[in-house]
Structure 1
Amino acid sequence: MARLLEFLHAVKSDPSLAAPVEILDHDSTSQDLGDVEVDIEQRTFGSRFTAARYLHERLSGTGLGNIDQDRGLWAWLSLFYFEELCPPDKKGKRTPGEDARWVPDSGHAFRYYRHLLAGPYRIFHAHRTNPERAMILLCGPLHQPGDIVEQLASRQELVTNASLLATATALYLDGTTALPKRGAASTEKLNDRTRGKPGTVRRLVDVYKQFDLAWDLYSMETEAVITLLPTEFTRFRS
């Protein structure tokens, strides 16, 4: 993990540096899984959902223990899929971002969800019976999680709320582009406090919490929940 972070810090100023893939199977920087066999192939995923589904299929049921919390495992996978997680821009520059995107920060759940692979995997696993309902958090490319992930994955009670995420997906996911609709995560400043603009994701969270006091939202169909929402959400309903 230290070698990986050392490389990521260096590649910001020298994008020509090659990823140190040799440390993936070197005795001093890797650990043999023993009797556990996991078949992970080099491939391009194209989206957070595809990556999460693939890794869930390959890792679940293998006998690996404590997958969610294995920082070394997710750091290893991050380096293995480095090219897709940190593609160069038109000028050849790479922007790895903060360390938590590569080595999970186990001290804070929000920062753990910022990991480019462990984050989508955890969301998929939490909603594995119907992962499509969480698509608003699993759409888009791996290297660009987006503002909605920042807003909804910041708290455990939100990212695991099946009814809320199904409602958010129905409202804000563009069926044509398979990406969030424009303006879904917009915010504004009010007295030095950030709040969501009318009809946006942050407003949905606020309104949902209010309605949850009077309605059993978990037992309601998604469309029924949407019909309860005030008119500020009208522009996202189609």
Structure 2
Amino acid sequence: MRQIVLDTETTGIDPKQGHRIVEIGCVELINRRLTGNHFHVYINPQRIIEAEVVAVHGLTNERLADEPVFKDIVDDFIKFISGAELVIHNAAFDIGFMDHEFGLISGLGVKNTSQICTVLDTLALARQLHPGQKNNLDALCKRYGIDNSHRQLHGALLDAEILADVYLLMTGGQTALNLSGKSSETQNQQGDTIRRLASDRKPLKIVSATADELEQHEQRLDLVEKGGACLWRQ
């Protein structure tokens, strides 16, 4: 399964008002593993970037003056995302801008993202898992114990990398054996963070129970059996 975790930065909030994409960042997951493959471009939007938006992502017209325009990167972008499931936080925003950019290029075979990709919205997923709570990216990082202290400004590639970690934890179920009675959220706040494992790592060491531990286990099952049938002995 190939998934592309994607984020964009823009000149404003509404493509219907002529706002454009200024940055695209994507990271690749295959079978829920980060591959290290990514797509990242800055784009000259060919229009003024609003000051309040510059304060969010730090990208000015001067900084982007020598970057390519969208039509110059569109073929590579489509090639990278084609056939994948896009994983996006608040997907309607990014897809709206992508579809707007595709529509501005005459002769382009793709007019809508839905022609080449499926989309998973992690904001909608987070709202299902955590109803009534804050579910922006910063709040999810705090909830799942992901360090985003290096995120001073929004950046498409950095946010895509952070979202990949959030998504994997949010959809991976239990990430640690919890015998303390503490909630997973409390455990994450105390420092449990996602760890990326190298593809060439050594096989995990198998640790078997000692004779004393096995005896204690049987004693526990004896207590369980006093209350009725013991599932572990059936």
Range class of TM-score, shorter chain: under 0.3
TM-score (norm 2): 0.25
The structure with more strand, counted as a fraction of residues: 2
Higher RCO (CA 8 Å, separation ≥ 6 residues): 2
TM-score normalized with structure 1 length: 0.24
